[in-house]
Structure 1
Amino acid sequence: MNEQDLKRAFEDVVVASSPPPAMDPGRALDLARKARSKRRSSIVGAVVAVLVVGVGLGSAFALNPKGTQEYLTGAGPSSSSNAGMPDTQWGDKWPVGQSDRTATSGPQADRGTQLLNLAKASVPAGYDTPDLNYKDPTMYGGMLRAQAQISTNKGQVPEVWQYTAYVPVRKGDKVGRLMAQVSMPNPKDPADPCALAKRFQGMNDAECKIIEVAGKQVGVASPASPERGSGTWASYRAANGWTVTIMQEAEYPYGGYPALDAQPFLSPELAALAADPKFLLGS
């Protein structure tokens, strides 16, 4: 009941209760008392209703401030379903501000940069991570780069973002590559560490072994033949469903620089790096 309804109800009560019959003062007094009681009941009822709604909204706001705000303003909900991650607002096909799957600014792009910095800080002593340019003329941009992209389509639940960092690893004049790939929980990801590792870059025929790191199982894999490459990678699926793959290569593909004499990490070290909780990006 709003202010106009209260006013109208009050006027109806006044009209209905007057004028009192002149020939019966007792009945007139009785009618007046009933009208006043009815009016008070209407006003009290309206106030109680307002208080109940207010308390309900207050409780809802305390439990879910964003959802309550959307209810009051009519705003549509976001599609993010991952705790600790920023909500994604969608346009017609892509997240707002994007022209394709890749985020070039905003919180998701920031997490790609965060992953890049973590990967740079993880290289062993004796190596540096310079921002080099490709010598191959068919390539463009820098070799030190990060990417954040949406793997799922609009309306799909859960929403899955994937973050990738590419880091040149240099020792002397020789350059290799460290690549880190982190993904939000994806129902399609297998729980078995080697099955997860073999899905990386579609290398289902990769050779894989499981290495245990502080009670965590990590799949460490390499191509079955030199024709498929010479890198080594470790894949780990955390208890919350997030996945991490760290790959090392003695040569940076298309970089044009001499290859490292050896890969920077031994297999157990690479497995420990993949299982490091810092790569879960605050999930």
Structure 2
Amino acid sequence: MDENELRDAMRATITQHSEPPPMESRTALVTARRAARRRNIMACAGTAVVVLGVTLAALPGQGNPGGGTGWAPAAAPSAPSAPVEPFPTVYPSGAVPSGEPFPTAFPSGQVPSGENTKPSWPAEASGDATADSGVHYQKGVALLEKLIEVAPAGYTVPTGNSPDDIPFRYHQAAIEGDHWSYLVSVPLVKDGGTGRIIVEVHEPNNDQPADPCELAQSFWGIGGSCEKRAVRPGEEAGIVAGPSTRDGVDQWVAFQHPDDTVVFVAQGLSTGGEGVRPLKSLPFTVDQLVEFAAGDGFK
């Protein structure tokens, strides 16, 4: 097939098929933002916390909840990036033949405009879905402080940043469709082992499942075997006990409050990072996780 035949075939394909639907970019960005926040937790947990888990227990004054050294190790040198491969073109020479318009996916040659193709974010989010100021940002900070306060006696909550400059005490507020969500996480260090506790909160008008077990199994897409536990008359929590196969999360509870607020509380024996020495036992009981999720402290 020569270039003329190839061009004719492409034009026939375009004209004989209907225009594809506009991309749901807001949904895609929300999903990507969730994944990025969780990768950030993995990154900070799986690097310098390995060192912290070994050293903090031996340092004086580190036996009380909320303690820490404020020390952050130096960043390792970055690996050389792979060579960038050129994007293939439909013409062998890489150039469009003179006088011929380049074929497009839409008959008009224009990408459809509309609300779904260009999402707008609140002013406090500075142009993206993550708040860096304002009332929602401050709520994320407050949730983190509450999480640090519930650290059990004998566990240390380290301060400082990972080599990727991600805080060990992590918090974030983000807009997800029509509601705000909050994610907070801290490592818990004891006897040279490092685990963690995570809280994720979704404000009302969220898209989370109503069934307690479906809700629990939706957490980070991990799934798992679930059981329901009565909390109050007509209210149940979903409980999933691992160990999970990814993300360093071994046990978590999900609860939907009467006002539609959803709270996930998760804990792990390790941080999910390679080479991390795990805790000998989980920091909290299931009853405590249920209490955290169904109470007003993280709501």
TM-score, normalised relative to structure 2:
0.55
Superposed displacement of residue 172, structure 1: 3.0
- Counterpart of 2:278 in structure 1: which amino acid? A
Report deviation, 1:228.
Answer: 6.9
Matched, 1:114 2:142: yes
Deviations, residues 185-234 of structure 1 (Å, cap 9, x unaligned) = 13522221111101111123x11111223444111113476457552110
Instruction: Give the distance between the partners of 2:255 and 2:134, measured in 1 at CA.
Output: 27
| 8 Å contact from structure 2 (residues 248, 270) kept in 1 | no
Q: Is the 8 A contact 2:255 2:294 kept in 1?
A: yes
Match of 1:88 in 2: none
1:175 is aligned to 194
| Conserved? CA contact 1:223–1:229, under 8 Å | no
How has the CA–CA distance of structure 1 residues 256 and 145 changed in structure 2, closer, same or farther, with 3 Å as cutoff?
farther
Any conservation in 2 of the 1:219–1:236 contact (CA below 8 Å)? yes
Unpaired runs of at least 5, structure 2: 1-117
Give the one of 141, 144, 161 matched to 2:166: 141
CA deviation after TM superposition for structure 1 residue 103, in Å: 0.4
User: Residue 116 of structure 1 aligns to a residue in which SS?
Assistant: helix
Distance in 2 (alpha carbons) for counterparts of 1:239 and 1:103:
26
Structure index of larger Rg: 1
Structure ranking higher on relative contact order (CA contacts 8 Å, 6+ apart): 2
Runs of 4+ in 1 over 6 A off after TM superposition: none
Which residue of the partner structure matches residue 93 of structure 1? 120
Asked whether the equivalents of residues 203 and 223 of structure 1 are also in contact (C-alpha less than 8 Å), the reply is no
Number of aligned residue pairs: 180
Contact 2:199 2:266 in 1 (8 A): yes
Task: For residue 113 of structure 1, report the CA deviation from its aligned partner.
Answer: 0.4
Q: Which residue of 2 aligns with 1:253?
A: 272
- Structure 1: runs of 5+ lacking an equivalent: 1-90, 153-158
1:179-190 correspondence runs (5 A): 179-190=198-209
Q: Distance in 1 between matches of 2:139 and 2:214?
A: 26
C-alpha RMSD over aligned residues: 2.4
The TM-score, its normalising length taken from structure 1, stands at 0.58
Seen in structure 2, the aligned counterparts of structure 1 residues 193 and 103 have a Cα distance that, compared at 3 Å, is same
Distance 1:119 1:228, change over 3 A: closer
Counterparts of 1:140 and 1:256 in 2: how far apart (Å)? 20
Partner of 1:199: 218
**How much does 1:253 deviate?**
2.8
* Structure-2 separation of matches of 1:231 and 1:271: 15
User: 1:256 deviation in Å?
Assistant: 5.9
Structure 2 CA distance for partners of 1:173 and 1:214, relative to 1, 3 Å: same
Identify the structure with the greater helix proportion.
Answer: 1
The match for 1:222 is 241
